[in-house]
Amino acid sequence: MDLILQKSIQIMKTLTLIRPDDWHLHLRNGEILKTVVAHSARQFQRAMVMPNLKSPVVSVEDALRYRAEILQALPSGSSFEPLMTLYLTPQTSVEDIQKVAENPFIYALKLYPAGATTHSESGVTNLNVIYPILEAMQKYDVPLLIHGEVTDTNTDIFDRERIFIETQLIPIVAQFPDLKIVLEHVTTTEAVQFVSAASQKIAATITPQHLLFNRNALLVGGIKPHYYCLPILKRESHQRSLIAAAISGNPKFFLGTDSAPHITALKENACGCAGCYSAFAAIELYTEAFEKENALDKLEAFAAFYGADFYGLPRNTTTITLEKKSWEIPSQYGEKNHLITPLNANQTLHWKQQ
Ligand code: DOR
Ligand code: ZN
């Protein structure tokens, strides 16, 4: 067969999806923002923007200022919409909740147990203290986004999510049955079981790294800091539960990357920061995970429908197209003083957004 004929019968495999949203994203501020927001804006229409800046986003004013900074950093012509969140602290007031409920740009509050992760020092140690706030959130229908891990230093890091569900989340749900809750970046069989069995008010996001990897990626053959995130990757049986949830067609489980850029020097460090940077090709990473399971038909709803439905927002109407095409993930993104190592750097991805 001659080459031209051979070429012409090669069928280009493409996948067109309604443009997805990222329901859990770290954009940071300052220098790094421009690089990372451009990546997200290329793929996603909207993103729920996490408030754990070095100086946390605790007030409506902070969130509006941060939103303006994000919009300013976007590539020109982008229609990307940052959906803002506030950081729940022991100082958060009922008045703050009322203000959030009235504000068209702020969608939720994020609960970090103090000490759970990056910039979580301003978080909450004793959840009983915030019960009046949760009451107000329930009343005004403001969703609570939870980093679900206990933080006492004696608890094994691999058990922190399970124990949070048992000791903190179950009592909250019992006390506030109408409070909308997203258990963010779930990592365990127990979390999948809990969310599946809970009311329609409870949902969960799942990251690409927790679908694609388990703790072997982090620890076998040397410590691989770019696979270190929190909650930490668990054993394979948990990974299997997450995959099953993601491809199940259960609308309680939807896309949230938790893409969390840190400069390479702070990841490759004696005390490396937690976070995987996936925004450069988030949808391709999810596509690989779904394709491995022969479940590409379930990807669009997971990536573009269920999150919007949960938050009561309209589904997007434009599309993105992915092409089946191998390419090598670069070793770094960003500028000289803030280089970021992407998730799976130097490895091959088999899909590429056009
Ligand atoms: O790995 C993580 N990185 N988990 C989080 O919860 C926070 C995030 C970050 O902000 O770096
Ligand atoms: Zn996060």
* The pLDDT of residue 6: 52
Average pLDDT value for residue range 144-151: 96
Give, for ligand 1, the residue of 22, 48, 118, 213 to mutate: max count of ligand atoms closer than 8 Å to Cβ: 118
pLDDT 10s digits, 195-253: 999 999 999 999 999 999 999 999 999 999 999 999 999 999 999 999 999 999 999 99
Mean pLDDT, the chain, integer? 96
Mean pLDDT, residues 90-100: 97
Residues 54-76 have a mean pLDDT of 97
The dihedral region occupied by 77, where left means phi > 0, alpha psi between -120 and 50, and beta the remainder, is left
- Ligand 1 pocket check for 52: Cβ under 6 Å: yes
| Ligand at shortest distance from the CA of 184 | 2
> What does the pLDDT read at residue 114?
87
Whole-number pLDDT of residue 219: 98
Q: Is 117 in the pocket of ligand 1 (CB under 6 A)?
A: yes
Q: Does the beta carbon of 263 lie inside 6 Å of ligand 1? A: no
Residues of the chain above pLDDT 70, percent: 97
Does the pLDDT at position 108 exceed 70?
yes
27 lines ligand 1 (CB under 6 A): no
Burial 4-43 (b: 16+ CB within 10 A, else e): eeeeeeeeeeebebbbbbbbbbbbbeeebbbbbbbbbbbb
Q: What is the mean pLDDT of residues 106-111?
A: 98
**In this predicted model, which residue has the larger pLDDT, 3 or 274?**
274
Minimum mean pLDDT range among 54-68, 115-129, 207-221, 299-313: 115-129
Residues 6+ apart with CB under 8 A from 11: none
Q: Give residue 11 CA to ligand 2 midpoint distance, Å.
A: 39
230 CA to middle of ligand 1, Å?
Answer: 6
Peptide bond into 261 cis (omega under 30): no
Q: Is 334 near ligand 1, meaning CB less than 6 Å away?
A: no
**Spacing, Cα 2 to ligand 1 middle (Å):** 53
Q: What is the mean pLDDT of residues 256-277?
A: 97
CA distance 354 to 345: 20
Ligand 1 binding pocket includes 146 (Cβ within 6 Å): no
- Residues, the chain, total? 354
CA 237–ligand 2 middle distance (angstroms) = 23
* pLDDT at position 125: 85
Which has more confidence, 121 or 222?
222
Q: What is the mean pLDDT of residues 13-39?
A: 97
Probe target for ligand 1 pocket from 36, 117, 120, with the most ligand atoms within 8 Å of CB: 117
147 CA to middle of ligand 1, Å? 9
Lowest mean pLDDT: which of 6-15, 43-52, 77-86, 218-227?
Answer: 6-15
Determine whether the shortest distance from the Cβ of 230 to ligand 1 is under 6 A: yes
Q: Evaluate: CB of 26 within 6 angstroms of ligand 1.
A: yes
Residue 62 has pLDDT above 90, yes or no: yes
Q: Which atom of ligand 1 is nearest to the CA of 276?
A: 1
pLDDT bin (cut points 50, 70, 90) of residue 116 is confident
pLDDT value for 120: 84
Query: Catalytic residue positions?
Result: 258
pLDDT for position 122: 87
Q: Which atom of ligand 1 is nearest to the CA of 147?
A: 6
Three-state SS string across the chain, please? Answer: CCHHHHHHCCCCCEEEEECCCEEEECCCCCHHHHHHHHHHHHHCCEEEECCCCCCCCCCHHHHHHHHHHHHHHCCCCCCCEEEEEEECCCCCCHHHHHHHHHCCCEEEEEECECCCCCCCCCCECCHHHHHHHHHHHHHHCCCEEECCCCCCCCCCHHHHHHHHHHHHHHHHHHHCCCCCEEECCCCCHHHHHHHHHCCCCEEEEECHHHHHCCHHHHHCCCCCHHHCCCCCCCCHHHHHHHHHHHCCCCCCEEECCCECCCCHHHHCCCCCCCCCCCHHHHHHHHHHHHHHCCCHHHHHHHHHHHHHHHHCCCCCCCEEEEEEEEEECCCCECCHHHCECCCCCCCEEEEEEC
- The pLDDT of 61-89, averaged and rounded, is 98
pLDDT, tens only, 152-188: 989 999 999 999 999 999 999 999 999 999 999 999 9
276 C-alpha to ligand 2 centroid (Å):
10
For residue 1, pLDDT beyond 60:
no
Q: Give the ligand whose atoms come closest to the C-alpha of residue 205.
A: 2
Confidence (pLDDT) at 83: 99
Q: Whose CA is nearest to atom 4 of ligand 1?
A: 230
Q: Indicate the pLDDT class of residue 121, thresholds 50, 70 and 90.
A: confident
At residue 115, the pLDDT reads 82
* The pLDDT value given to residue 296: 97
Question: Does the beta carbon of 151 lie inside 6 Å of ligand 1?
Answer: no
